[in-house]
Amino acid sequence: MPANELENLMTEIIVIGGGPAGLSAALVCARRGLDTTVIEKRSFPVIKTCGEGLMPGGVDSLKRLVPQKLINKIEYHPFAGIRYIAPNGECASGYFGKGDGWGIERSELSKLLSLAVEQEPGINLLENTVATVEGSAEQPIVHFNSQTLRPKLLIAADGLHSPIRRWAELNGPPSKLKRWGLRQHYQITPWTNLVEVHWSKDMEAYVTPVSPNTVGIAVLSHRELISSWQRPISLKATLEVFSNLEPKLLSSEAKDQLIGIGPLHQTVKRTGTGKVVLVGDAAGYLDAITGEGISNAMEQALLIDRIFKKQKEKPSIDELVFNYANQLPALMRRYYWLTHLTLLLHRRPSLVNQVVRVFQKTPWLFNYLLDLNSARSFSEAANSSLQIHGRSYGRELLRVVTRRSIGEIRKKS
């Protein structure tokens, strides 16, 4: 497209970052009649460290964003729930109440969303393109490919350590929680239809089936070994601390290079200001321990869509930024609550053995927490899980667990 045509046509929305968050946001904006440009510095498919598990809520969001005919073209592997394997070898399994989750390689998800974007006439997708941002959050100026555009809205989907978040002065205070993640794929037939979480003293390993002959292994830890993942290290050697997992991988071959990311916890002052909104990891991130990163990114895009939908006339950018920044904290409250709760197990590994025993005795409680992980509210999860279990006893036990958990969180903060 000639430069002058690009400048004339693509000035309403600019999305910087072509990951799931950026592409999802571009889709909802274009479908509301807004000309949208997506700028991605890498080539597609975009690959990034990721646990690659979509919870049932995330699957629902993906289906709302992408036509089924495109979903049918990509490879994924359904999983029915989560299995915790404690350091002492005991295990407990929880199952989703409504639908399966999907294990999907990040490259496959990137292909899927980029295909959906390419079919939208209102989106211009630029790959291998570096953008720089100047001006102010009230009047952003974006430079790329010798072009200068002044968008009505700048959507920052540029990742965990977002340069745009820093430029817009939306960074929160530095976090004391320092955790890193590694990810690699292994060529092996999945041995279960569950995502397995293996716990050790100072790290967790997540095993996600992503195809009939591939599993993804993600490791989270605060250890220096993880923070220095750029050095040549063996993920198999790292996994030796997991006695139930390491033997399964002895005869398997790694399918790709080991990649990593961190530190994970990023805080923000606010997720929108002026003509800038933050989506995905750029909008703040606590930890990957509950596996909700991609689901959150797509739900944030759908929040933008809901805000636009409520506007009677042509979408108002000023109203969007204000409402998005005000409504997003409530949308993310469940994620932060559950993630803080689960991080207690990371901080106090001795609790894992006890929690697994509790889940063995009361499997409905594990099921409820999994439903809560995918629900929009506590009541929605309760209605789908607690109705078939001992209601009065179960709710009272949950109240006790919740009160103690919140007390622990407050002590740590």
pLDDT at res. 243: 82
Domain ranges of the chain: 3-87+105-174+265-334, 180-261, 348-412
pLDDT at res. 10: 41
> What span, in angstroms and rounded, lies between the C-alpha atoms of 120 and 168?
29
pLDDT at res. 246: 78
> What span, in angstroms and rounded, lies between the C-alpha atoms of 120 and 36?
10
β-pairing verdict for 123-126 and 36-39? parallel
* CATH of region 180-261: 3.30.9.100
**DSSP sequence for 341-362:** HHHHHHH-THHHHHHHHHHHH-
Taking residue 52's Cβ as centre, other Cβ atoms within 10 Å add up to: 28
pLDDT at res. 222: 82
Look at residue 336 and give its three-state secondary structure.
Answer: helix
pLDDT at res. 240: 79
pLDDT at res. 5: 42
> What span, in angstroms and rounded, lies between the C-alpha atoms of 279 and 282?
6
Whether 269 and 171 have beta carbons less than 8 Å apart is answered as: yes
Provide the residue type at 195 as one letter: V
pTM: 0.88
pLDDT at res. 35: 92
Q: 5-22: b or e for each residue (b if 16 or more CB lie within 10 Å)?
A: ebeeebebbbbbbbbbbb
CATH fit for domain 3-87+105-174+265-334, picks 3.30.2000.20, 1.10.3720.10, 3.40.1350.10, 3.50.50.60: 3.50.50.60
Task: Judge if 3-87+105-174+265-334 and 180-261 fold alike in CATH terms.
Answer: no
**Which residue ranges in the chain fall short of pLDDT 70?**
1-11, 224-234, 375-413
HEC readout, 255-306: CCCCEEECCCCECECCCEECCEEECHHHHCECCCCCCCHHHHHHHHHHHHHH
> What span, in angstroms and rounded, lies between the C-alpha atoms of 251 and 272?
49
Among candidate residues 4, 7, 27, the one with its CA nearest the CA of residue 15: 27
Q: Tens of pLDDT along 78-97? A: 999 999 999 999 999 999 98
pLDDT at res. 48: 87
**DSSP sequence for 95-117:** E-SSS-EEE--HHHHHHHHHHHH
Sign of dihedral through CA atoms 296, 301, 302, 306?
positive
